[in-house]
Amino acid sequence: MTDADDIEMRRLAVRRADMKLAFRSHLMAYVGVNGGLVALNLITSPGYFWAIWPMLGWGIGLAAHAASVYFNGDGLRDRMIEEELEKLRRTRGQ
């Protein structure tokens, strides 16, 4: 493996780690804010659980973010690139 390969692999690893950290920050904001909304809801109007609506709306966005990081999008693209690189390395090594 050349230095250029190492640099590129490190760049991809940093990118993946940054994406995962960004998702974790998003998740923590979701938990914190919605926890506060639930508490506010229970204090101000315990007969109607209105906090579900922002939780659902934001939850859809959070799920899409998770999918882009862990199941789809760049994560999938990166894995496919790695698979192709491995195939090319095996082919050239023969």
Tokens of 71: 């199941």
pLDDT in tens, 28-63: 999 999 999 999 999 999 999 999 999 999 999 999
Average pLDDT along the chain: 89
The beta strand positions in the chain, using DSSP E, are none
Is pTM beyond 0.75 here? no
Q: Taking the CA atoms of the chain, what radius of gyration do you get in angstroms? A: 21
Mean pLDDT of 66-94: 78
Q: Which of 15, 54, 11 is nearest to 31 (CA)?
A: 54
Higher pLDDT: 6 or 53? It is 53
